[in-house]
Amino acid sequence: MIFARIRPDVSYLPDLQAYLDDLLRNRERLLAAHGLDDWARAEAMPSEEEISRIRRLIARISNDLSELSADERQQVDQAITVLRRHRTTMLGMPRIRQALPSFHQERTA
């Protein structure tokens, strides 16, 4: 799990919510799937512990936000916009360098 090792700040709240939604959707799909072996279902099933952990993290961040004044919330929202914009441009697809052409001439004997 990606969020277990870091303490996400408020700018990660949309990502956390999307991750929780994915976990819940996957759980429902697996529960509804017919013909799966029990071991395969168990391996693919998101754990209740992971779902609970993400829910607690979302609740903690949301509670912290609710305690802010309107002015503080506006400042946080502006900072989030800047952070997410920067994160989007910095986390794009990695570029792969093209191989440089070889200018070495083969020698003949």
Please report, for the chain, the start and end positions of each structural domain, with discontinuous segments joined by +: 2-90
Q: pLDDT per residue over 22-67, tens digit each?
A: 999 999 999 998 888 989 999 999 999 999 999 999 999 999 899 9
Let me know: does 51 contact 86? Beta carbons within 8 Å: no
Instruction: Name the pLDDT band for 85 (thresholds 50, 70, 90).
Output: confident
CA atoms within a 13 Å half-sphere pointing along the CA-CB vector of 108: 0
> From the centroid of its chain, how far is CA 54?
11
For residue 32, the SS3 value is helix
The Cα 21–Cα 85 span in angstroms is 22
Q: Look at the pTM and tell me if it is higher than 0.85.
A: no
Q: pLDDT per residue over 98-109, tens digit each?
A: 555 555 566 665
